[in-house]
């Protein structure tokens, strides 16, 4: 039996999207009218051979709602509630249900993806011959998407389509579009198809921000109250829904800097001092926030180095408000976020999170010593 076609197709079964975009669509569907709007249901596609993903697909394929437990602190109040998400109406495995996946993409208005750290990696086994073979399934996500979009171009070239990658890659929409255009050129595909990819499809750059700390079995997730989906505004963009946590913006860089410099940077500075102060290996972020010295040093890091740079950019009020949310997120009484986990790849993280702040201060000619960030960057 062919599954009912849905207007939203999602690649990836991650607990993150279950508690983020999928939950947003569910809430918008439940509140339809009064300014709320959702395109409709979601078809989820498993892109890997993971047994965990397969178990989630099997559970999602039943069409039953799944729980999202929201736990944390928001506006000074502890939150612990369970929501039911119901927007996922169909779930497919690409390896065994490729024809159904092809049909789902033909009928989609919006394509979402969250395929993990290696999601954009190509596979040498992928071959352009797969375009003509109905049952041949590419290995990598980019090749899968290229084959599916090629079929859509052949059958429904005039139908509008928005692609909303949610991978944590800067300019993720631009990156994925260029990756597919280069792959199409390597495969020797029609230049007309390349133009269609470039000009007809809407590739949205976006930033997602929510800590989803735990998966529930067989499907569902535990997430903090804070959530953000910032999407760069552009002509023809079609969002899967309207939701208070979705922000359309002409300045996505602002949101990226807030998250990178204040939340991610705050994590890395806590980790830097955790190591230097030789705090317990099992210490969590919440415990670090309760440690008088570590908390004081983090507050000084924000107040004297990170926040002044946002002042130079004319974003002081927004940055102060964001730091207030970050404090609550770091103090989440339900989340055991270990410093050892944050410290992984610490040298590379410091380069991404501290060096741009120092560079921005220098570009604006500000006489900011930035001694903490500079000291942390020594030897990286």
CATH classification of the domain holding 234: 3.40.50.720
Residues 25 and 239 sit within 8 Å (Cβ to Cβ): no
With a cut of 60, say whether residue 135 has pLDDT above it.
yes
Residue 66 resides in a domain: yes
Q: Are residues 348 and 209 in the same domain?
A: no
Residue 3 resides in a domain: no
Residues 243 and 32 sit within 8 Å (Cβ to Cβ): no
Q: Quick one: pLDDT at residue 129?
A: 85
Cα gap 266→256, rounded to integer Å: 14
Assign 3-class secondary structure to the chain: CCCCCCCEEEECCCHHHHCCHHHHHHHHHHCCECCECECCCEEEEECCCCHHHHHHHHHHCCCCCEEEEEEEEECCEEEEEEEEECCEEEEEECCCCHHHHHHHHHCCCEEEECCCCCCCCCCCCCCHHHHCCCCCCCCCHHHHHHHHHHHHHHHCCCCCCEEEECCCCCCHHHHHHHHHHHHHHHCCCCHHHHHHHHHHCEECCEEEECCEEEECCCCCEEECCCCEEEEECCCCCCCCECCCCEEEECCHHHHHHHHHHHHHHHHHHHHHHHHHCCCCCCCEHHHHHHCHHHHHHHHHHHHHHHHHHHHHCCCHHHHHHHHHHHHHHHCCCCCCCEHHHHCCCHHHHHHHHCHHHHHHHHHCCCCCCCHHHHHHHCCC
Considering the chain, what percentage of its residues have pLDDT values greater than 90? 88
Q: Which of 250, 271, 294 is the last residue of a domain?
A: 250
Q: Quick one: pLDDT at residue 4?
A: 80
Q: Quick one: pLDDT at residue 1?
A: 46
Cα gap 213→15, rounded to integer Å: 9
Q: Which of 217, 250, 283 is the last residue of a domain?
A: 250
With a cut of 80, say whether residue 47 has pLDDT above it.
yes
Number of domains in the chain: 2
With a cut of 80, say whether residue 3 has pLDDT above it.
no
Domain that holds residue 174: 8-250
**CATH number for the domain that contains residue 345:** 1.10.1040.10
pLDDT digits (tens, 9 = 90+) for 280-305: 999 999 999 999 999 999 999 999 99
Q: Are residues 97 and 192 in the same domain?
A: yes
With a cut of 80, say whether residue 366 has pLDDT above it.
no
Q: How confident is the model at residue 136 (pLDDT cuts 50, 70, 90)?
A: confident
Chain center to CA of 149: 22
Q: Are residues 244 and 259 in the same domain?
A: no
Q: Which of 250, 279, 294 is the last residue of a domain?
A: 250
Tell me how crowded residue 68 is: count the other CB atoms within 10 A of its CB: 24
pLDDT digits (tens, 9 = 90+) for 73-122: 999 999 999 999 999 999 999 999 999 999 999 999 999 999 977 889 99
pLDDT digits (tens, 9 = 90+) for 25-41: 999 999 876 556 899 99
For residues 367 and 240, the model is more confident at 240
Q: Are residues 160 and 303 in the same domain?
A: no
With a cut of 70, say whether residue 5 has pLDDT above it.
yes
Q: Quick one: pLDDT at residue 316?
A: 96
Q: Are residues 102 and 236 in the same domain?
A: yes
Q: Quick one: pLDDT at residue 77?
A: 94
Q: Quick one: pLDDT at residue 379?
A: 67
- Could you tell me which of 261, 239, 252 has the C-alpha nearest to residue 171? 252
pLDDT digits (tens, 9 = 90+) for 56-71: 999 999 999 999 999 9
Q: Quick one: pLDDT at residue 175?
A: 97
Q: Are residues 273 and 244 in the same domain?
A: no
| Cis, peptide link before residue 48, omega less than 30° from 0 | no
Element (H, E) at 78: strand 77-85
Considering the chain, what percentage of its residues have pLDDT values greater than 70? 97
Output the average pLDDT for the chain: 94
Cα gap 262→47, rounded to integer Å: 33
Buried b (16+ CB within 10 A) or exposed e, 228-250: bbbbbeeeebebbbebebbebee
Q: Are residues 243 and 262 in the same domain?
A: no
Q: Are residues 36 and 69 in the same domain?
A: yes
pLDDT digits (tens, 9 = 90+) for 140-177: 999 999 999 999 999 999 999 999 999 999 999 999 99
Q: Quick one: pLDDT at residue 132?
A: 78
Residues 4 and 40 sit within 8 Å (Cβ to Cβ): no
With a cut of 60, say whether residue 2 has pLDDT above it.
no
What token pair was written down for 158? Answer: 């005039």
- Could you tell me which of 295, 322, 305, 326 has the C-alpha nearest to residue 377? 305
Chain center to CA of 27: 19
């Amino acid at each position: 039996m062919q599954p009912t076609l849905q207007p939203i197709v999602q690649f990836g079964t991650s607990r993150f999207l279950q508690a983020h975009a999928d939950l947003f669509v569910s809430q918008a569907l439940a509140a339809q009218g009064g300014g709320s709007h959702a395109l409709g249901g979601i078809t989820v596609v498993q892109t890997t051979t993971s047994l965990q993903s397969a178990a989630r697909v099997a559970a999602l394929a039943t069409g039953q709602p799944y729980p999202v437990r929201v736990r944390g602190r928001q506006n000074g109040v502890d939150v612990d509630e369970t929501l039911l998400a119901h927007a996922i109406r169909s779930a497919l495995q690409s390896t065994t249900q490729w024809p159904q996946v092809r049909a789902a993409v033909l009928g989609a208005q919006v394509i979402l993806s969250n395929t993990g750290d290696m999601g954009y990696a190509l596979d040498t086994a992928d071959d352009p011959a797969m375009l003509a073979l109905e049952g041949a399934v590419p290995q990598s996500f980019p090749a899968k998407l290229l084959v599916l979009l090629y079929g859509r171009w052949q059958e429904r070239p005039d139908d509008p389509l928005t692609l909303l990658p949610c991978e944590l890659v800067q300019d993720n929409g631009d990156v994925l579009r260029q990756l597919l255009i280069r792959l199409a050129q390597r495969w020797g595909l029609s230049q007309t198809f390349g133009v269609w990819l470039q000009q007809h499809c809407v590739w949205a750059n976006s930033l997602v921000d929510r800590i989803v700390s735990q998966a529930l079995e067989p499907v569902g997730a535990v997430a903090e109250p804070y959530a953000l989906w910032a999407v760069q505004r552009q002509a023809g963009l079609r969002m899967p829904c309207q939701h208070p946590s979705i922000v359309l913006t002409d300045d996505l860089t602002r949101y990226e800097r807030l998250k990178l410099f204040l939340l991610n940077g705050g994590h890395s500075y806590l980790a830097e001092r955790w190591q230097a102060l030789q705090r317990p290996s099992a210490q969590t972020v919440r415990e670090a926030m309760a440690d008088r010295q570590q908390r004081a040093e983090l507050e000084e890091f924000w107040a004297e180095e990170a926040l002044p740079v946002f002042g130079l950019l004319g974003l002081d009020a927004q940055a102060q408000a964001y730091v207030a949310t970050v404090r609550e997120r770091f103090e989440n009484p339900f989340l055991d976020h270990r410093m050892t986990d944050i410290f992984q790849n610490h040298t590379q993280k410091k380069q991404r999170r501290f060096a741009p702040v120092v560079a921005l201060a220098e570009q604006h000619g500000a006489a900011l010593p930035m001694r903490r960030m500079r000291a942390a960057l020594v030897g990286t």
